[in-house]
Amino acid sequence: MVRILLITTALLVMVLFLVLPLLTVFIQALSAGFGAYVAAIVDPNVTAAIGLTLLIAAIAVPANLVFGIVASWCIARFRFPGRSVLLTLIDLPFSISPVVAGLLEVLLFGLNGLLGPFLAAHGVQIIFALPGMVLATIFVTFPFVAREVIPLAQEQGNDEEEAAVTLGASGLQIFWRVSLPKIRWGLFYGVLLCNARAMGEFGAVSVVSGKVFGSTDTLPLAVESLYESYEIQAAFAAASLLALLALATLVLKAALEWWHRDEIAASRPRTSARPQKAA
């Protein structure tokens, strides 16, 4: 009885908070017919926003991928002063409001900011331009890859790398053949999440973008611009693209997990094979 009650409650909550809103997005987007839906998307301002969103993600995601690998490698391999500080700092973007993150950037790179005058003197514009939006996105999506990979690398330890050393592998060979493959599933999830967030980020990017519709608007910003100018159907059409992105991410993740289920099972940590540590 309790079980049925709990399951029903869980299902109701899920439908109310997840399924219904998602459906509403598509219903609203298609409310004026499929032709109007397509027209809203191929609007030059919207296609520009799509392009900008893709561009920012294409820069921010690889940057955070590299950072995640380096950070996890350092933290799992070495004991150095400031190690725990670094671990804490990685979580900072999670605990700070994206709007504050955007403001920090304005304070740093803006015309009246710390580095602003210097940059302006050299003709570099960061705030209200692409570089600022990329930096804000990198900042906000910073933890996704690192957070997935660091615990994995820490748990797997250094044994396999040491084995590779005794088997005659060079540093580069160890990285490509051992260290990278053993964390690749963590990396993959991290990248998927990082990408979804990079494309969907609103707060931080909104502060630094200047919101010039058709020029420095990303897709989430375009949704807001359209909504505020009472183009409800067009706003939902753009929003439906973001919803589709979320769905595609989930489907891709599930599909890859299913295709590679043997390998994923095999690469799980072998806790059963590690009894107490002897001398």
* Footprint of another protein (CB under 8 A): 156, 159-160, 162-170, 173, 177-178, 181-182, 184, 262-263, 265-268, 270, 273-275, 278-279
Answer yes or no: are the C-beta atoms of 60 and 141 closer than 8 Å.
yes
Cβ neighbors of 138 (< 8 A, separation 6 or more) are 59, 60, 63, 64
Least distance to another protein, CB of residue 180, Å? 10
- When the beta carbons of 84 and 166 are compared against another protein, the nearer one is 166
Query: What's the min distance (Å) between Cβ of 83 and another protein?
Result: 17
Q: How far is residue 163 from each of residues 3, 121, 228, 264, measured CA to CA in Å?
A: 49, 54, 60, 22
Closer residue to another protein in complex, CB, 122/270: 270
Residue 161: CB minimum distance to another protein, A: 9
The Cα 249–Cα 236 span in angstroms is: 20
CA distance 143 to 67: 10
- Give the residue ranges of DSSP H helices in 78-96: 83-90, 92-95
The residue among 59 and 164 lying less far from another protein, judged by its C-beta, is: 164
Q: Measured at the alpha carbon of residue 197, what is the angle toward residues 192 and 203, in degrees to the nearest 5? A: 175
Q: How many CB atoms lie within 10 A of CB 275?
A: 7
φ and ψ at 162, to 5 degrees? -65, -40
| Identity of the residue, 4 or 273, whose beta carbon is nearer to another protein in the bound complex | 273
Nearest distance from residue 85's CB to another protein, in Å? 22
- Quote the CA–CA distance of 53 and 47 in Å, as a whole number: 10
The tokens describing 88, both together, are 């804490």
Our CB check for another protein shows the closer of 33 and 181 to be 181
Q: How far is the CB of 228 from another protein (least distance, A)?
A: 50
- Residue 81 tokens read as 């002063």
Nearer to another protein, 182 or 253 (CB): 182
What is the nearest approach in angstroms of another protein to the Cβ of residue 163?
4
Of the pair 38, 261, the CB lying nearest another protein is at: 261
Kindly state the smallest distance separating residue 250's Cβ from another protein, in Å. 25
Element (H, E) at 148: helix 130-156
Sign of the torsion angle spanned by Cα atoms 52, 53, 56, 58 = negative
